[in-house]
């Protein structure tokens, strides 16, 4: 009998940012041939690595005419100084002088568009139809290295603050957000739903762990196909108990955003330069105004009257962050106290003004990226609010179980990862910040 021993493997990783420490040394790297330019005396071969491009130079004695763009190869060569100005290349001060090249695998066909141009510049339909290939473009994939840091810094910030990670179920018996925008599932012999949010489970989590966070997909069956919506997105959610005010939630989000921006500076310098991103700054605080005041400001300056509207309009969202940038040097703006009838049934009303809720949105660069607030923790209050919303408390027996057996005062928020990523990257259409966007017309690839 043959028993093999599988020993733990540590990956050998060549840190491309530290090529200076390897000058004159021979290294081997694997990647795809991104660009190949064969000149009479020299061949320039730009390799596409996991995150960056690197320049390989083959002198006359090396014949690369048998290679094609798209080939997966292993290149061996000497690290030497250079001076390159392609932002997609890292490290720009070094290149590889080729000594050997092996073909690992050749694709069957050449894609119907060029992923090696500075900009992809193809029609959105083609870009999304072939997303599994178009994301190989350096500028496209860079968006998701930004998105990764946003998500991972959410997790590490909350972990440091003693939050517990939960995994809320996505197959649910009822929607947390109400309304018709919920997907139905055939669940064996019955109907179930896809979770619109982890709301109930976060609130349960407060009773179990005190402070919880959840990073996962949520689903909204919204029929409108806009640049601000996708039907499946990643929600960065947290919920915390024993708050003294709903402003605690806003203050914690402010701290997270500061941390996230620092993490982007630390980890994503390459992508920030490639995508020419100017990060927002939070010097001291984020300004916060009530919805009513937001409407007033818009009316006063823009002369358009939304003062009786229960929510912000898209043009107000755009205007208001320009206003806060100008007046308070903040690209972020909290808007608070949305009316009771515009916020979900679990939202706490303001005791000093019951027509308004202890809730907030966070606007950033013209878009709402967060919804949050204090939740109802008292059983009678929650029961009565369901009634006043015309809902049947019996349908929410499972949810009310929480309030019946007790939960401390609590609140939380949800950040849309794609929305935040899009605004950080100054992308207009949030679908570009979703790896495989789902909308009313698209569920492929």
Closest CB to a copy of itself among residues 62, 436 = 436
Cβ proximity to a copy of itself: between 112 and 124 the closer is 112
Q: How far is the CB of 326 from a copy of itself (least distance, A)?
A: 13
Residues paired with 359 in a beta bridge? 373
- Residues 6 or more apart whose CB falls under 8 angstroms from that of 149 comprise 260, 263, 264, 267, 268
Phi, psi for 328 (deg, rounded to 5):
-125, 10
- Shortest Å, Cβ 180 to a copy of itself: 12
When the beta carbons of 94 and 157 are compared against a copy of itself, the nearer one is 157
DSSP-derived 3-state class of residue 242: coil
Q: 437 with 431: CB under 8 angstroms?
A: yes
Beta bridge partners of 57: 44, 97
Q: How far is the CB of 238 from a copy of itself (least distance, A)?
A: 12
CA distance 314 to 409: 32
Q: State the Cα–Cα distance between residues 130 and 147, nearest whole angstrom.
A: 20
Structure tokens given for 1: 């009998």
Cα torsion 418, 424, 425, 431 to 10°: value is 20
Nearer to a copy of itself (CB atom), residue 64 or residue 250: 250
49/80 with CB nearer a copy of itself: 49
32 is written with which tokens?
Answer: 């795809």
Q: How many CB atoms lie within 10 A of CB 99?
A: 14
CA angle 261, 358, 418 (to 5 degrees): 35
Structure tokens at 322: 């320009």
CA separation for the pair 400, 382 (Å, rounded): 8
Residue 201 Cβ vs a copy of itself, minimum distance, rounded to whole Å: 7
Q: How far is the CB of 11 from a copy of itself (least distance, A)?
A: 5
Structure tokens, 171: 């197959």
Q: What's the CA gap between 237 and 170, in Å, rounded?
A: 14
Min dist. Cβ of residue 55 to a copy of itself (A): 18
What is the rounded distance in angstroms from the CA atom of residue 99 to the CA atom of residue 107? 24
Of the pair 254, 359, the CB lying nearest a copy of itself is at 254
Which structure tokens are listed for 159? 């972990």
- Give whichever of 228 and 410 is closer to a copy of itself, judged by the CB atom: 410
Among the listed residues 250, 254, 326, 339, the one whose alpha carbon sits nearest the alpha carbon of residue 291? 339
**Would you say 140 or 228 has its CB closer to a copy of itself?**
140
- State in angstroms the smallest separation of the CB of 41 from a copy of itself: 29
CB of 428 to a copy of itself, least distance (A): 21
For a copy of itself, the closer of residues 336 and 347 by Cβ is 336
Q: Which is nearer to a copy of itself, 44 or 209 (CB)?
A: 209
- Shortest CB 177 distance to a copy of itself, Å: 17
Omega of the bond leading into 445 within 30 degrees of 0 (cis): yes
Tally of CB atoms within 10 A around 52: 20
Q: CB-hemisphere CA count at 13 Å for 146? A: 33
User: What is the smallest separation between the CB atom of 60 and a copy of itself, expressed in angstroms?
Assistant: 28
């Amino acid at each position: 009998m043959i028993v093999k021993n599988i020993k733990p493997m540590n990956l050998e990783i060549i840190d491309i940012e530290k090529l200076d420490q390897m000058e004159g040394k021979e290294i081997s790297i694997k990647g795809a041939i991104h660009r190949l330019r064969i000149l009479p005396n020299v061949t320039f071969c730009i390799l596409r690595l996991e995150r960056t491009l690197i320049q390989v130079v083959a002198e006359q004695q090396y014949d690369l005419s048998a290679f094609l763009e798209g080939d997966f190869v292993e290149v061996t060569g000497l690290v030497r100084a250079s001076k390159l100005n392609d932002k997609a290349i890292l490290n720009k001060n070094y290149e590889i002088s080729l000594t050997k090249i092996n073909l690992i695998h050749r694709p069957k066909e050449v894609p119907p568009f060029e992923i090696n141009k500075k900009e992809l510049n193809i029609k959105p339909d083609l870009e999304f139809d072939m997303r599994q290939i178009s994301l190989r473009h350096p500028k496209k994939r860079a968006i998701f290295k930004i998105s990764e840091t946003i998500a991972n810094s959410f997790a590490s910030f909350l972990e440091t603050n003693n939050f517990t990670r939960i995994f809320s179920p996505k197959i649910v018996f009822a929607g947390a957000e109400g309304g018709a925008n919920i997907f139905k599932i055939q669940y064996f012999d019955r109907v179930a739903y896809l979770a619109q949010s982890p709301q109930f489970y976060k609130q349960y989590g407060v009773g179990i762990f005190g402070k919880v966070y959840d990073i996962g997909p949520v689903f909204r069956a919204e029929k409108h196909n806009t640049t601000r919506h996708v039907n499946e997105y990643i929600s960065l959610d947290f919920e915390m108990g024993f708050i003294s005010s709903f402003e605690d939630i806003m203050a914690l989000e402010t701290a997270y955003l500061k941390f996230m921006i620092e993490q982007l500076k630390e980890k994503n310098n390459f992508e920030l330069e490639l995508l020419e991103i100017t990060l927002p700054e939070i010097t001291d605080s984020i300004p916060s105004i009530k919805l009513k005041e937001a409407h007033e400001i818009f009316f006063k300056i823009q002369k358009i009257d939304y003062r009786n509207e229960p929510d912000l309009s898209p043009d107000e969202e755009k205007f208001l962050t320009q206003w806060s940038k100008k007046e308070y040097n903040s690209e972020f703006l909290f808007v608070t106290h949305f009316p009771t009838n515009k916020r979900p049934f679990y939202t706490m009303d303001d005791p000093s003004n019951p027509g308004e809720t202890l809730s907030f949105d966070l606007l950033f660069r013209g878009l709402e990226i967060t919804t949050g607030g204090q939740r109802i923790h008292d059983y009678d209050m929650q029961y009565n609010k369901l009634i006043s919303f015309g809902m049947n408390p019996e349908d929410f027996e499972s949810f009310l179980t929480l309030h019946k057996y007790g939960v401390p005062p609590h609140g939380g928020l949800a950040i849309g990862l794609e929305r935040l990523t899009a605004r950080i990257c100054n992308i207009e259409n949030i679908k570009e910040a979703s790896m495989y966007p789902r909308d009313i017309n698209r569920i492929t690839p």
